[in-house]
C-alpha cells in the first residue's frame, strides 16, 4: 500500500472528553443540577480527512448525542457506518445536515432520519410534501439564523418572523433546534461576536414570541470552546437556551482531531494546548540512492547536492495531499518527514506521486521502511505554516489509499 492514515481512537475519545468538559458538558452533582452544554461532533468532509466511517462510531460510543455532516449523502454514509459498526438505529446519535437542502434531498432526509438545517420556507415546504408521501411522519429541522456570516440562515426581523409564523402552523415540520454560526470565534474580545450575540438574542426572542419550543439552541465551533475568555460565550449560550426551555450545544470539528486555531489577541488557550493530533499519515520507502556532490534532484533541478547524500524515495505527492509548497531548494528549506523518529528533509520539488527526502544522517534506512508523512514530529500545523494555510485544509486534503482506526 502506497500510503495510509491511522486514526488514534484513544486520542479522538480523549479530545472529545476534553471538549465536553471545557464546554461544561459534564453533568454536575449540584442540586438543582447546573445546565450543561452538549458537544456536537462534526464529521463532515470525511471527518476532516480522517475517515467518517472510522470516526463516527468512535464518537458515538464516546457519548456524542449529535454528529454533524455537510449534506445528505454524507449523512446517509454516516448512518451506514454506524450500523456497520453494530450500533442500532435507536442507539445512534442524531445527525445534523449543516450545509444546504435541495428538493431532491428530502426523501433521503426521511429515509435516513437526518435533521436538516433550514432557513427558507421552500425547504420546509419540500420536507412537508415528502413527509406527506411518507405517511405523515414529522420531520425535525434546525433553523439557522444569519447573525453576520451572510452564508446561510434567515435574518432576524421581519424575514424571521414570517418564517416562524408559517412554521408554527405546520404539523409535518417541527422546529427541533435554532442555531447560528460565529464568524470570529477565535478572536479574543471580538466586536463581531458581540454583534452576532445581540442578533441571536433578538432571534430567540422572536422564537419564543412565536410560541415555538425548540429542544436545542446551538452556536459556534471548536474555537468557541477554546476561547471562552472574558466574553463567556458558552455561559451566554446556556442562559439563552435555558430561557426558552432548551438545551445548549456547541459544534466542534477541528478540535476533535487535535488541532485548533490560536486565540487571536488572547492569552494561553488551554484547550488547544491539551489537544492531541489524531491522524498519522504513513508511507513506505520505495527507493534508496546515493548522489554525488553537484547532482541535481527532482524537477527543474531546484536542489543541487552540496555533498554526497543518501536519499529515500516516498510514493506520496501533491495528488495525495502532500502540499507542493513543502518543496525545498538550496535557498529555501521545505518540509520534512519522520524516518526512524528523526527528521528527513524534503529535497527538490514535491511531485504528483513522489517525494524525495534526505536520509544521509539516518543510518540503516532501507526499502520498505515505514515513514511518517504527517503525525508526531511533523504536524498539520507544520504543513500549514509552509503551505500558507490552516491545519483544516491540510487534514481535509490528505487522500491516502486507506484509513484505519488504531486503539493507541
Catalytic position from the list 16, 257, 259, 299? 299
Q: Which is nearer to ligand PLP, 354 or 374 (CB)?
A: 374
Between 44 and 349, whose beta carbon lies closer to ligand PLP? Answer: 44
For ligand PLP, the closer of residues 71 and 215 by Cβ is 71
Binder of ligand PLP out of 22, 210, 254, 398 (CB under 6 A): 254
3-class secondary structure per residue, the chain:
CCEEEEEEHHHHHHHHHHHHHHHCCCCCCCCCCCCCEEEEEECHHHHHCCCHHHHHHHHHHCCCCEEEECCHHHHHHHHHHHHHCCCCHHHCCEEEECCCCCHHHHHHHHHCCCEEEECCHHHHHHHHHHHHHCCCCCEEEEEEECCCCCCCCECCCHHHHHHHHHHHCCCCEEEEEEEECCCCCCECCCHHHHHHHHHHHHHHHHHHHCCCCCCEEEECCHHHHHCCCCCCHHHHHHHHHHHCCCEEEEEECHHHHCCCCCCECCCCCHHHHHCCCCEEEEEECCEEEEECCCCEECHHHCEECCCCEEEEEECCCHHHCCCHHHCECCCCCCCEEEECCEEEEECECCCCCCEEEECCCCCCCCCCCEEEEEECCECHHHHHHHHCCCHHHHHHCCCCCEEEEECC
Toward ligand PLP, which CB reaches closer, 115 or 222?
Answer: 222
252 binds ligand PLP (CB under 6 A): yes
Q: How far is the CB of 48 from ligand PLP (least distance, A)?
A: 7
The window from 79-87, 132-140, 247-255, 286-294 that contacts ligand PLP (CB under 6 A) reads 247-255
2 is catalytic: no
Out of 106, 190, 193, 221, the residue judged to bind ligand PLP by CB under 6 A:
221
User: Which of 222, 280, 355, 379 contacts ligand PLP by CB under 6 A?
Assistant: 222
Task: Assess 181 for contact with ligand PLP (CB under 6 A).
Answer: yes
Minimum distance between the CB of residue 223 and ligand PLP, rounded to whole angstroms? Answer: 6
Site membership for ligand PLP, residue 98 (CB under 6 A):
yes
Nearest approach, Cβ of residue 170 and ligand PLP (Å): 24
Our finding on whether 253 is near ligand PLP (CB under 6 A) is yes
How are beta strands 37-42 and 3-8 bridged, if at all? unpaired
Distances (CA, A) of 51 to 63, 89, 229: 19, 20, 32
Q: Does residue 151 have a known ligand-binding role?
A: yes
Bond before 333 cis per omega within 30 degrees: no
Question: How far is Cα 51 from Cα 85, in angstroms, rounded to an integer?
Answer: 14
Q: Would the annotation count 352 as a binding residue?
A: yes
Minimum Å gap between C-beta 357 and ligand PLP is: 30
Q: Which span (9-17, 170-178, 246-254, 366-374) binds ligand PLP, by CB under 6 A?
A: 246-254
Nearest partner of 179 among 203, 206, 205, judged by Cα = 203
Total of chain residues touching ligand PLP, rule CB under 6 A: 11
Q: Based on the shown chain and the rule CB under 6 A, indicate whether residue 251 belongs to the binding site for ligand PLP.
A: yes
- List binders of ligand PLP among 268-287 (CB under 6 A): none
Residue whose beta carbon is closest to ligand PLP:
253
Contact 191, 228 (CB under 8 A): no
Closer CB to ligand PLP, 79 or 218, in the complex = 218
Catalytic pick among 16, 44, 259, 392: 44
* Cβ-based nearer residue to ligand PLP, 154 or 357: 154
Nearer to ligand PLP, 67 or 344 (CB): 67
In angstroms, give the least distance from the CB of 327 to ligand PLP.
28
The CA-atom distances, in angstroms, between 234 and each of 63, 162, 254, 352 are 20, 29, 18, 44
37 makes contact with ligand PLP (CB under 6 A): no
**Among 122-130, 195-203, 248-256, 353-361, which window interacts with ligand PLP (CB under 6 A)?**
248-256
259 is catalytic: no
User: Counting contacts by CB under 6 A, is residue 42 touching ligand PLP?
Assistant: yes
Residues placed in the known binding site:
151, 352
Cite the active site residues. 44, 299
Residues placed in the known binding site for substrate:
151, 352
Give me the residues that bind ligand PLP (CB under 6 A), please: 42, 44, 98, 181, 221-222, 251-255
Amino acid at each position: 500500500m502506497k500510503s495510509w492514515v491511522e486514526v488514534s481512537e484513544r486520542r479522538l475519545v480523549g479530545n472529545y472528553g476534553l471538549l465536553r468538559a471545557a464546554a461544561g458538558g459534564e453533568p454536575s452533582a449540584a442540586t438543582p443540577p447546573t445546565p450543561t452544554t452538549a458537544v456536537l461532533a462534526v464529521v463532515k468532509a470525511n471527518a476532516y480527512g480522517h475517515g467518517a466511517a472510522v470516526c463516527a462510531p468512535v464518537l458515538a460510543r464516546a457519548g456524542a448525542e449529535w454528529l454533524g455532516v455537510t449534506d445528505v449523502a454524507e449523512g446517509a454514509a454516516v448512518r451506514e457506518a454506524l450500523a456497520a459498526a453494530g450500533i442500532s438505529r435507536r442507539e445512534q446519535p442524531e445527525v445534523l445536515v449543516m450545509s444546504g437542502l435541495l428538493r431532491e434531498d428530502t426523501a433521503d432526509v426521511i429515509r435516513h432520519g437526518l435533521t436538516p438545517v433550514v432557513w427558507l420556507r421552500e425547504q420546509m415546504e419540500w420536507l412537508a410534501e415528502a413527509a406527506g408521501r411518507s405517511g405523515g411522519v414529522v420531520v425535525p429541522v434546525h433553523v439557522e439564523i444569519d447573525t453576520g456570516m451572510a452564508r446561510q440562515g434567515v435574518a432576524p426581523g421581519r424575514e424571521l418572523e414570517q418564517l416562524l409564523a408559517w412554521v408554527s402552523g405546520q404539523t409535518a415540520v417541527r422546529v427541533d433546534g435554532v442555531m447560528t454560526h460565529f464568524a470570529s470565534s477565535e478572536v479574543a474580545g471580538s466586536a463581531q461576536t458581540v454583534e452576532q450575540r445581540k442578533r441571536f438574542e433578538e432571534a430567540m426572542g422572536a422564537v419564543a414570541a412565536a410560541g415555538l419550543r425548540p429542544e436545542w439552541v446551538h452556536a459556534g465551533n471548536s474555537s468557541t470552546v477554546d476561547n471562552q475568555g472574558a466574553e463567556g460565550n458558552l455561559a451566554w449560550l446556556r442562559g439563552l437556551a435555558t430561557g426558552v426551555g432548551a438545551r445548549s450545544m456547541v459544534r466542534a470539528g477541528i478540535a476533535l482531531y487535535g488541532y485548533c486555531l490560536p486565540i487571536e489577541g488572547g492569552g494561553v488557550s488551554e484547550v488547544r494546548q491539551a489537544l492531541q493530533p489524531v491522524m498519522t499519515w504513513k508511507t513506505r520507502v520505495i527507493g534508496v540512492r546515493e548522489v554525488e556532490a553537484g547532482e541535481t534532484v527532482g524537477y527543474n533541478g531546484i536542489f543541487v547536492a552540496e555533498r554526497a547524500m543518501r536519499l529515500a524515495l516516498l510514493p506520496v505527492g501533491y495528488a495525495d495531499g502532500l502540499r507542493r509548497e513543502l518543496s525545498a531548494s538550496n535557498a529555501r528549506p521545505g518540509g520534512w518527514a519522520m524516518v526512524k523518529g528523526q527528521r528527513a528533509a524534503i529535497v527538490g520539488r514535491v511531485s504528483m506521486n513522489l517525494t524525495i527526502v534526505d536520509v544521509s544522517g539516518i543510518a540503516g534506512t532501507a526499502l520498505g521502511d515505514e515513514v511518517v508523512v504527517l503525525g508526531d514530529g511533523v504536524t498539520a500545523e507544520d504543513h500549514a505554516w509552509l503551505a500558507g494555510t490552516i491545519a483544516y485544509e491540510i487534514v481535509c486534503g490528505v487522500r491516502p489509499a486507506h484509513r484505519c482506526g488504531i486503539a493507541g
